[in-house]
């Protein structure tokens, strides 16, 4: 079933709820978004400061343009919104989608929340949308993010050389490409990840 950008998808389990990002989430996310470390490897319009409103507005506009589907992430353990993630680059003819623009406040990192989010998003992508692959990527210097993607079952597939400015010094850095296939999800990644939630 193709993704319906006009539909309000809510992805939820006992730990986390992902709901469509809306203007009213701005105030709830503003304080967490002010954590500067979140934006170290983001090359978009936000650094968590005054431009965060534009970041949220751009994400919502991209959904209206049927380009991206952003979510606000609600941590049930803390009882508050703690970040955002989204689907993007949906290719209906190729039956593929990408997952990214993911960020969480520091109080939710390393708590298992990301595994819950990824489980729900993979399950939706493979079992509801029926896509054949979910692609992910990261700045090569962002070792924590790459390790997190590998820990939920993604395979490192390659790199795009010198795509980004280096964050840690002069020069350029690669983008690391990762992915998960529908066949891999059903062959064991789903059950393995489910047991780790």
Specify the pLDDT at position 144: 94
Residue 70, in any domain of the structure: yes
pLDDT in tens, 83-122: 999 999 999 999 999 999 999 999 998 999 999 999 999 9
Structure-block tokens of residue 83: 């970040």
Contact indicator for 138, 158 with CB cutoff of 8 Å: no
Contact indicator for 174, 161 with CB cutoff of 8 Å: yes
Residue 2, in any domain of the structure: no
**Residue 64, number of CB atoms within 10 A of its CB:** 10
Number of domains in the chain: 1
Q: Is 79 exposed, middle or buried (0-12, 13-18, 19+ CB in 10 A)?
A: exposed
Specify the pLDDT at position 129: 98
Q: Scan for tokens 């991209």, then name that residue.
A: 62
Specify the pLDDT at position 145: 95
Residue 89, in any domain of the structure: yes
Report how far residue 120's alpha carbon sits from residue 11's, in angstroms, rounded to the nearest whole number: 6
Residue 139, in any domain of the structure: yes
Residue 66, in any domain of the structure: yes
Give the structural domain span for 131: 11-195
pLDDT in tens, 67-78: 999 999 999 999
Report how far residue 59's alpha carbon sits from residue 69's, in angstroms, rounded to the nearest whole number: 8
Residue 3, in any domain of the structure: no
pTM for this entry: 0.96
Residue 42, in any domain of the structure: yes
Contacts 24+ apart (CB under 8 A), 39-45: 39/103, 40/142, 40/167, 41/138, 41/139, 41/141, 41/142, 41/145, 41/167, 42/101, 42/103, 43/164, 43/165, 44/101
Range in 50-54, 87-91, 149-153 the model is least confident about? 50-54
CATH number assigned to the domain comprising residue 136: 3.40.630.30
pLDDT in tens, 21-41: 999 999 999 999 999 999 999
pLDDT in tens, 179-194: 999 999 999 999 999 9
Beta bridge partners of 169: none
Residue 4, in any domain of the structure: no
């Amino acid at each position: 079933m193709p993704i319906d950008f006009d539909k309000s998808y809510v992805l939820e389990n006992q730990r986390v709820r992902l709901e469509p990002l809306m203007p009213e989430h701005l105030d709830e996310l503003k304080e967490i978004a002010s954590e500067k470390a979140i934006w170290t490897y983001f090359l978009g319009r936000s650094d968590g400061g005054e431009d965060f409103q534009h970041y949220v507005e751009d994400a919502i506009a991209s959904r209206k343009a049927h380009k991206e589907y952003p979510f606000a992430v609600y941590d049930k353990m803390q009882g508050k919104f703690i970040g955002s993630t989204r689907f993007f680059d949906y290719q209906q003819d190729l039956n593929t989608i990408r997952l990214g623009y993911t960020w969480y406040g520091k109080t939710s990192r390393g708590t298992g929340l990301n595994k819950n989010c990824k489980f729900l998003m993979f399950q939706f992508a493979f079992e509801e949308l029926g896509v054949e692959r979910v692609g992910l990527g990261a700045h090569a210097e962002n070792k924590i993010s790459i390790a997190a993607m590998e820990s939920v079952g993604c395979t490192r597939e390659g790199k795009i050389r010198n795509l980004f400015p280096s964050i840690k010094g002069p020069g350029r850095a690669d983008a690391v490409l990762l992915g998960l296939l529908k066949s891999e999800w059903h062959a064991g990644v789903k059950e393995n990840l489910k047991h780790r939630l």
